[in-house]
Amino acid sequence: MSAHPPVLSSLTAAEAEARLSELGALLHACVAAGASVNFVWPFTQAEAELFFARKVLPAIAAGTRTLWIAEIDGRVVGTVQLDVDTPPNQPHRAEVTKLLVHPEARRRGIARALMAALEDRAAALERSLITLDTRTGDFAEPLYASLGYVAIGTIPDYCIDPARTRLDATTIMYKTIRAPSAGAASL
Ligand SMILES: CC(C)(COP(=O)(O)OP(=O)(O)OC[C@H]1O[C@@H](n2cnc3c(N)ncnc32)[C@H](O)[C@@H]1OP(=O)(O)O)[C@@H](O)C(=O)NCCC(=O)NCCS
């Protein structure tokens, strides 16, 4: 893979639909490499594409989710989503979901760059509290910690690992990216 820096962009629903097979290929490659991101093996690329088509595209179209891709030489090598579909009492919170970097493109700062774009958007949307969960012990944990996310604890036996061999714990993390707006702060 070339040494060029990744190009990041957020996609409209139509743009994401046009890149469904690339998004599906990325998700499929990550799960095949052992990523614990809701899916278990066997998992086909068609199922991966269906996930984006059914769960992500409608949310982008509804304005409750932003999806970024990172490209190197025109190839999608990373993605992340910001989910702002929160209840009425959490208008200041947003969730990180499906941070994925292709196994061949890892440890080059792509996840860090995607998270920076996500946090900029969260701040622009006045979403000051960002929450996420990630499998305990995964590489994502030191990544999030290095970005200032605080681990508040783990839930044991939270999910089945992708190979269906055991139950894994998950770590719940959060980051406050800036002070809540005056209205929320006065509550
Ligand atoms: C976690 C993941 C997104 C990291 O992507 P990446 O582009 O390789 O991460 P970056 O290069 O931006 O790394 C940023 C930091 O994360 C940590 N990190 C990432 N990979 C690591 C590894 N293999 N070992 C130790 N630390 C690691 C380091 O602190 C790293 O900083 P450094 O390189 O300056 O030491 C990627 O490994 C992945 O897609 N994993 C599978 C899916 C997944 O678990 N996603 C998270 C779901 S919540």
pLDDT in tens, 110-121: 999 999 999 999
- Provide residues with CB under 6 Å of ligand 1: 30, 35, 37, 99-101, 106-112, 132, 134, 138-140, 142-143, 146
185 falls within a domain: no
Q: Whose CA is nearest to atom 29 of ligand 1?
A: 143
186 falls within a domain: no
Q: Which atom of ligand 1 is nearest to the CA of 102?
A: 39
2 falls within a domain: no
Which residues are CB-contacts of 54 (< 8 A; sequence separation ≥ 6)? none
110 falls within a domain: yes
Q: pLDDT tens digits for 113-165?
A: 999 999 999 999 999 999 999 999 999 999 999 999 999 999 999 999 999 99
- Domain containing 44 equals 7-180
Q: Confidence class of residue 4 from pLDDT cuts 50, 70 and 90?
A: confident
Assign residue 145 the CATH number of its domain: 3.40.630.30
168 falls within a domain: yes
DSSP assignment of the chain, as one string? ---PPPEEEE--HHHHHHTHHHHHHHHHHHHHTT--SS--SS--HHHHHHHIIIIIHHHHHHTSEEEEEEEETTEEEEEEEEE----TT-TTEEEEEEEEE-GGG-SSSHHHHHHHHHHHHHHHTT--EEEEEEETTSTHHHHHHHTTPEEEEEEEEEEE-TTSSSEEEEEEEEEE-SPPPHHHHT-
- Average pLDDT of the chain is 95
115 falls within a domain: yes
> To the nearest whole percent, how much of the chain has pLDDT over 90?
92
pLDDT at 180: 54
